Amino acid sequence: MASTRMSRWGADLYTGRKSYPIVQRRRWWYTLSGVIIVVSALLLIFKGITPSIDFRGGSEFIISGVSSTEQQPAIDAVHSVKPDEQVRVSVVGVASSSPSLRVQTSKLSSDQTTQAADALSKAYDGANVSSQFIGPSWGADVTNKAVRGLLVFLVLVSLVMTIYFRNWRMAVAALVALVHDMIITVGMYAGVGWEVSPATVIGFLTILGYSIYDTVVVFDKVRENNARLLDQKRYTHAELSNLALNQTLVRSINTSVVALLPVSGILFIGAFLLGAGTLRDIALALFIGIIAGTFSSIFIATPVEVSLRNREPAVAKHTRTVLDARAAAVEAGDLGEDGTVEVRVGAAVPGQHLGIAAQPKRRKGGRGAGRAS
Amino acid sequence: MFGALFAGAKWSNGTLVPKLALDLEGGTQLILQPVTRGNQQITDQDITQAIDIMRQRVDASGVSEAQITSQGSGQNRNIVVALPGTPSKETLDLVRQSAQMFFRPVLKIGAPAAGTPDKAAANLGTPANNSDPAWLTQDVLDTFATLDCTDPKNLSGTGNQSGDPAKPLVTCSKDGTTKYVLGPVDVYGKDLSSANSGLKTTQTGQLTNEWVVNLKLNASGTTAFRDASTRLVDLTSPRNQFAIVLDGLVISAPRMDSIIPNGQAEISGSFTRESAATLARQLNFGALPLTFTVQSEQQISATLGSEQLQRGILAGLIGLALVVVYSIFQYRALGFVTILSLAVAAGATYALIGLLSWTQGYRLSLPGVAGLIVAIGITADSFIVYFERVRDELRDGRTLPAAVSQGWSRAKRTILASDTVNFLAALVLYFLAVGGVRGFAFTLGLTTIVDLAVVFMLTHPVLALLAKTRFFAEGHRFSGLDPSALGARTRYVGRGRVVGPDEPAEGGEPERRLTIAERRAAANAGSGSTEGKDA
């Protein structure tokens, strides 16, 4: 049964029988995410983001005195002039007293505007179409205030994390992971080439919260495993942190699957199969962001935290002590099966009964061993 | 608690369905045409400033997520304000009314009630300046006497009551406690560049406990204000006061204590934090350089296509169904606890949103819906963290009730820490951001609280109760807490006895002691490898 296999896998990760050396191979992960970040940044620079009509303003057509308020013909009409355009149609006025349709698109050239007006008029049986430019609804002040709120949040969250974990390095590592997630999410979104609407921006903000949240959950286990770090001489900080990662691996997978399912439902089923364009931008931002957030809390946040804490004098000294003790064990010939010192990092488990065969026993038959003198 | 919420939602005029925002429901659209005084040109800056102030006005009244844009170009520009739902008259007035603000010198003050007119002084002559008592003609005094400021009808200010800037004005204070005769306009509201409230700082830069409103004037305002303050400062009371007239009513009439040469004035008095902020906001509204006429007022449908939204929600529901399948697959019977908790959380969130949309005018917008979708993940995560901890404790060989209480005390810390971070994000964004970001922050904060409440008041008690049932305590194969499936270890409990994963009884004497062979088999099965071989 798959579930049993998964829970047994979880058990092995918990006790350390199975362990993925994530912290130990951190340079590898740094390189990998460095490459992803560079790609994202390049996408961002060269492809750039396309702000939607809410940020830039655009063109607006008013089709007055329409007989039907069906919206699809308007969308089709605009698409005949400019395909891939995100068209917004709303009905102005009440149905009883000759309503008009308001069609909003991104800024069209004057040629396109004339063509679109013609197409729209044709689509609604020669109705009167007027066109004009409209300004952005998401003004600079909205952006400024959101950015200010964000900065205050980042400062506060660093303070809270520093107090809770009693260690500023954890806060720094969480922020590194956060920046990592933001660059990847925005870059990949730019790569897909969809326009950035206010909903997308909200999606990015959500990812910000999710990234920190996920990191805090993993860090809490790291903190717990390292609570008595300096009182023992068996494991290094890096090893205990890696154990925390392995122990929370099942949680991370389950959580991200549960968070991703509704989002991918909207993205894949909604946007691609049912053709619902309205929610697709926010769904895409969330989809990329949740994956990046889960990835970074495992492969970036904790390794960075370990790298940072290894510079802390107390931790560095402790690591040296542990490694020296191991080297001494090697010299003393206290080797494991494969010729190295065996270090199995896992949850402490009580000893178990190994069966009667493990007990000292008296040889049967023949003379007893007798007592020496 | 949930019952109370649902009941509350039910009583609230039957608004069981939360109100929706503009993008989902549609609303009322007003097209406002800006009108300048005289032949001034309308600049980009004017329009931007007007939109900012308009947004501030609407946000301050609690209506969430109005959409305010400019329309057209050049001198033919309009401002389009779309308000969700069917806005109340007060809300519409906020947008329709254009504030006009003037600074006028006070000539005469009286009690609010109507009275008998005074006799005007003889030989009035031509007034020498705006503060000259010669403005008090018999006409003005008659109007002053008949005006009744206790009548609410006279207290609803509109831009049209602002009077001729070059003539004296007889009017009431906004709260209806005082009656004024005011001289011609000294400083125009548009010359005010900004106003804000804060604690007074002394000349040495120390903060005091006194709330003040600070004004900053532009170049022409600075000159005008310097002249006015030079004139007023030596006059006797009440003529040393200047009145700030917004929409024809006096919102404040401070005394001029010194000459203000640099265009930076400070209004002090018995302000509270609240009243100082209110005055500053009123001043900012009044500084809007334009007035508006309403060109059209129409209903408008949702900006997002309704069919598309339905499809999107359907897709989201399919995703949710997948969540149900996945959690049952992963957690077996425990999955039902997850689903129950999620369902209760969803119900509570729904009820709260319904309640708030009734009492606070909150409206659910698309970003709000997005916040709710992500909330599924974050809420479910609390359960996942908790269940995984309980499983870890079981793996250590604890009995289920012990594992639940131990796992809970550890998971609690994690859940509290991570939810604090989330709530912090929501709080900061809610208070500092505007527009759509605010709606999102609101749902995020709401779901975080609901998540905590559900985990503490439902999931944990339910699991603690379930731990006592035989189905779970004996680790049934489908309970999701089967110790042997989780790989729990056989544990030596002393006196030659072991507690294997198959007998997680509460340490009591097993009915029959296992034979050695059985115990060894159990040990081997428990560790699941060859490690248990003879050492």
Taking CB atoms and an 8 Å limit, are A265 and B322 in contact across chains? yes
The answer on A94 and A23 residing in a single domain is: no
The answer on B271 and B140 residing in a single domain is: yes
Taking CB atoms and an 8 Å limit, are B316 and A142 in contact across chains? no
Query: Domain for residue B294, yes or no?
Result: no
User: What pLDDT is stored for residue B535 in this prediction?
Assistant: 38
The answer on A227 and A116 residing in a single domain is: no
How far off is chain B from A101, nearest CA to CA, in Å? 9
Q: Which of A280, A309, A338 is the last residue of a domain?
A: A309
A115 — pLDDT class (breaks 50, 70, 90): confident
The answer on B136 and B274 residing in a single domain is: yes
Query: Domain for residue B412, yes or no?
Result: yes
Of A307 and B91, which is predicted with more confidence? A307
The answer on A155 and A272 residing in a single domain is: yes
Task: Name the residue facing B300 among A90, A198, A210 (closest C-beta).
Answer: A90
The beta-strand segments (E) located in chain A are: 50-51, 58-64, 88-92, 100-106, 128-134, 195-196
The answer on A167 and A275 residing in a single domain is: yes
Residue A222: closest C-alpha in chain B: B414
Query: Domain for residue B484, yes or no?
Result: no
Task: Name the residue facing B384 among A150, A251, A357 (closest C-beta).
Answer: A251
The answer on A152 and A127 residing in a single domain is: no
The answer on B247 and B152 residing in a single domain is: yes
How far off is chain B from A191, nearest CA to CA, in Å? 22
Query: Domain for residue A210, yes or no?
Result: yes
Query: Domain for residue A334, yes or no?
Result: no
pLDDT tens column, B164-221: 778 888 888 877 788 888 888 888 877 887 788 888 877 777 777 888 888 888 888 8
The answer on A33 and A174 residing in a single domain is: yes
Distance (Å, whole) CA A215 – CA A255: 12
Give yes or no for A346 touching B (CB within 8 A): no
User: What pLDDT is stored for residue B141 in this prediction?
Assistant: 83
Residue B440: closest C-alpha in chain A: A202
The answer on B151 and B233 residing in a single domain is: yes
With a cut of 90, say whether residue A343 has pLDDT above it. Answer: no
Of B164 and A315, which is predicted with more confidence? A315
Nearest Cα residue to A157 out of B389, B423, B346:
B423
Read off the CATH number of the domain in which B329 is found: 1.20.1640.10
Residue A199: closest C-alpha in chain B: B367
Taking CB atoms and an 8 Å limit, are B413 and A220 in contact across chains? yes
Tally of domains within chain A: 2
**What is the share, in percent, of chain A residues with pLDDT greater than 70?**
86
Tally of domains within chain B: 4
The answer on B359 and B467 residing in a single domain is: yes
How far off is chain A from B123, nearest CA to CA, in Å? 55
Distance (Å, whole) CA A104 – CA B305: 12
Query: Domain for residue B380, yes or no?
Result: yes
Touching B: A residues 57-76, CB under 8 Å? 57, 60, 69, 71
Query: Domain for residue A278, yes or no?
Result: yes
User: What pLDDT is stored for residue A303 in this prediction?
Assistant: 93
Task: Name the residue facing A149 among B301, B326, B428 (closest C-beta).
Answer: B428
Query: Domain for residue A277, yes or no?
Result: yes
Distance (Å, whole) CA A147 – CA A125: 47
Touching B: A residues 258-277, CB under 8 Å? 258-266, 269-271, 273-277
With a cut of 90, say whether residue A184 has pLDDT above it. Answer: yes
User: How far are the Cα atoms of B140, B180, B251 from residue B105, in angstroms, in the given order?
Assistant: 15, 10, 13
Query: Domain for residue A365, yes or no?
Result: no
The answer on A36 and A70 residing in a single domain is: no
pLDDT tens column, B83-102: 877 777 767 776 766 667 78
Residues of chain A contacting residue B314, judged by C-beta atoms under 8 Å apart: 270, 274
Distance (Å, whole) CA B385 – CA B152: 60
How far off is chain B from A320, nearest CA to CA, in Å? 30
Give yes or no for A102 touching B (CB within 8 A): yes
Task: Name the residue facing A270 among B311, B378, B392 (closest C-beta).
Answer: B311
Read off the CATH number of the domain in which B235 is found: 3.30.1360.200
Q: Which of A309, A327, A361 is the last residue of a domain?
A: A309
Task: Name the residue facing B51 among A88, A139, A353 (closest C-beta).
Answer: A139
DSSP string, B108-153: EEE-SS--PPPPPPS---S-SSTT-GGG--HHHHHHHHH--TTSGG
Query: Domain for residue B128, yes or no?
Result: yes
Backbone CA torsion sign across B486, B490, B491, B493: positive
Read off the CATH number of the domain in which A125 is found: 3.30.70.120
The answer on B442 and B506 residing in a single domain is: no
Taking CB atoms and an 8 Å limit, are A153 and B428 in contact across chains? yes
Q: Which of A102, A134, A166 is the last residue of a domain?
A: A134
Query: Domain for residue A345, yes or no?
Result: no
Residues of chain A contacting residue B73, judged by C-beta atoms under 8 Å apart: 132-133
User: What pLDDT is stored for residue A104 in this prediction?
Assistant: 81
Give yes or no for A130 touching B (CB within 8 A): no
Domain hosting B330: range is: 306-473
Task: Name the residue facing A266 among B69, B312, B496 (closest C-beta).
Answer: B312
The answer on B332 and B230 residing in a single domain is: no
Lowest mean pLDDT among A75-84, A201-210, B175-184, B309-318: B309-318
User: What pLDDT is stored for residue A180 in this prediction?
Assistant: 94
Taking CB atoms and an 8 Å limit, are A10 and B486 in contact across chains? yes
Residues of chain A contacting residue B534, judged by C-beta atoms under 8 Å apart: 354-355, 357-358
The answer on A169 and A142 residing in a single domain is: yes
Taking CB atoms and an 8 Å limit, are B384 and A213 in contact across chains? no
Taking CB atoms and an 8 Å limit, are A135 and B69 in contact across chains? yes
**Are B239 and B232 a contacting pair, CB within 8 Å?**
yes
User: What pLDDT is stored for residue B162 in this prediction?
Assistant: 67
- SS3 label, residue B32: strand
- The single-letter code of the amino acid at A295 is F
A-B Cβ pairs (cutoff 8 Å, strict): 330
Residues 6+ apart with CB under 8 A from B409: none
**Are B459 and B336 a contacting pair, CB within 8 Å?**
no
Give yes or no for A7 touching B (CB within 8 A): yes
Residues of chain A contacting residue B417, judged by C-beta atoms under 8 Å apart: 164, 216, 220
How far off is chain A from B308, nearest CA to CA, in Å? 5
The answer on A244 and A118 residing in a single domain is: no
Q: Among A56, A181, A243, A254, pick the best mutation site for testing chain B contact (most B Cβ within 10 A).
A: A254
Task: Name the residue facing B319 among A134, A138, A266 (closest C-beta).
Answer: A266
The answer on A209 and A160 residing in a single domain is: yes
Residues of chain A contacting residue B418, judged by C-beta atoms under 8 Å apart: 213, 216-217, 220
The answer on B344 and B371 residing in a single domain is: yes
Read off the CATH number of the domain in which B45 is found: 3.30.70.3400
Taking CB atoms and an 8 Å limit, are A269 and B319 in contact across chains? yes
Query: Domain for residue B463, yes or no?
Result: yes
Nearest Cα residue to A62 out of A106, A116, A137:
A116
User: How far are the Cα atoms of B340, B451, B463 from residue B456, in angstroms, in the given order?
Assistant: 14, 9, 11
Give yes or no for A358 touching B (CB within 8 A): yes
Domain hosting A22: range is: 2-51+138-309
pTM for the structure as a whole: 0.69
Distance (Å, whole) CA A261 – CA B322: 7
The answer on B107 and B88 residing in a single domain is: no
pLDDT beneath 50: ranges in chain B: 12, 14, 159, 502-511, 529-535
Q: Among B365, B395, B516, B530, pick the best mutation site for testing chain A contact (most A Cβ within 10 A).
A: B395
Distance (Å, whole) CA B326 – CA B323: 5
A349 — pLDDT class (breaks 50, 70, 90): low
Integer distance in angstroms from the first to the last C-alpha of chain B? 59
Touching B: A residues 289-308, CB under 8 Å? 290
Q: What is the CA radius of gyration of chain B?
A: 35
For residue B275, the surrounding DSSP H or E stretch is: helix B273-286
A32 — pLDDT class (breaks 50, 70, 90): very high
Residues of chain A contacting residue B371, judged by C-beta atoms under 8 Å apart: 202, 206
Q: Phi/psi class of residue A166: alpha, beta or left (left: φ > 0; alpha: ψ in -120 to 50)?
A: left
The answer on A304 and A219 residing in a single domain is: yes
Query: Domain for residue B299, yes or no?
Result: no
Residue B510: count of CB within 10 angstroms of its CB: 13
How far off is chain A from B309, nearest CA to CA, in Å? 6
Structure-token match 């109100």, residue found = B19
**Are B387 and B455 a contacting pair, CB within 8 Å?**
no
Give yes or no for A40 touching B (CB within 8 A): no
The answer on B67 and B192 residing in a single domain is: no
Residue A141: closest C-alpha in chain B: B52
Taking CB atoms and an 8 Å limit, are B315 and A266 in contact across chains? yes
How far off is chain A from B359, nearest CA to CA, in Å? 25
Query: Domain for residue A316, yes or no?
Result: no
Query: Domain for residue A222, yes or no?
Result: yes
Touching B: A residues 194-253, CB under 8 Å? 198-199, 201-203, 205-206, 208-210, 212-213, 216-217, 220-221, 224, 247-248, 250-251
The answer on B93 and B9 residing in a single domain is: yes
A31 — pLDDT class (breaks 50, 70, 90): very high
How far off is chain A from B450, nearest CA to CA, in Å? 16
**Are B427 and A156 a contacting pair, CB within 8 Å?**
no
The answer on A222 and A208 residing in a single domain is: yes
With a cut of 50, say whether residue A13 has pLDDT above it. Answer: yes
Nearest Cα residue to B187 out of B153, B215, B222:
B222
Distance (Å, whole) CA B326 – CA A258: 8
Query: Domain for residue B185, yes or no?
Result: yes
Read off the CATH number of the domain in which A249 is found: 1.20.1640.10
Helix then strand then coil, in percent of chain A rounded to 5, is: 65, 10, 30
User: What pLDDT is stored for residue A304 in this prediction?
Assistant: 94
The answer on B88 and B38 residing in a single domain is: yes
User: Rounded to an integer, what is the distance from CA B534 to the centroid of its chain?
Assistant: 68
